[in-house]
Chain A
């Protein structure tokens, strides 16, 4: 095919002038390599964020007593969040699959025999285990019966169990929280680090009714956790919940909410911080260098057209059409950017791997940078190759041969 033969001529021209070809490629190589590394690091950070979001729960809306910015533990002294708020939400906001009401308190010492420790004491209803996807690995969970009877039972987190009972099985033993004795009926699955960075397994779970009435002596709760059926409506449902609570607590802006509503999206945004913006900015700067590389490419190609006047005149004399010359130079430009893209991608990949090993930070190699790089290479190659190619094609053979 004629086009293929022309392409071959272009390839031969590039191979014949290796240094010049290398210079034409330099910008693309460097720009694509930088872009690849930046995107790999960005993806790695994004992965970290997703882990945090998953730990929070992708279908979850968390309501915390006490306002303020940021996803944080409940504030002491806020008494306005109540169980009937939860009922109102269940009744009036559609799409809620599961509701879990609980009151957290950190601080009261937990004793078992001679051992004592500090833990988060959580008084919760029977929906806890399902709402948090957090089953017991030993013994039994908090049930609605416990709730109904204000039973004095508890479920321990693995850290607390270990601190109080060592290797001994805690089921059936008794712990004392404040001045109330609880029988241990279960041990929770190990979870690890909490979304706030603390130890998730340092906890004591008791029935909500027992906690509010017997231990804390209060009517208010600290949290409501909602599980939503359709995660795409999270933000919208979060807003509905927020409006409902504002009405119930008679809060009108500019007064601040005495509660905070958090969805996975907001947790993600907070975890991300500036990293996403930073990645975009750095990618744009890398793209800028690609652009500069394209201009360098165009410049070199333009000059080379001038240098190759006689050759172009010859080809035309031998029967090349304007189209043939145009296509040859365009192929030269495209080949440069494509080979540059491949080289740059490989280089970027290598640097990413080294970076991951050295900094021990997450770096993810995916296909997206390659696809983006290819698109860039094609666009830059065509855009910056057109002008020189046109100039070459428009040379009049008679003048070129002079």
Chain B
């Protein structure tokens, strides 16, 4: 008995949910990295070692850009799924 589900046969809303869940997981990972960066930079700044501030800000900017990209991806998926749902 084949218990595997064919993902293409899932309703579009479920596929959209899967995409959003995946994007959220990536977002959470990026956020944890950003939180660690912020606490480490603050600690080194208070220890009068501000050298870490520039690379940490660059990495944080890249992480934020990735988060924003994921958000745009989620918005696009959502629009597509809603469009298909309304046609069906």
- Chain A partners chain B: no
Task: Give the interface of B toward A (CB within 8 A).
Answer: none
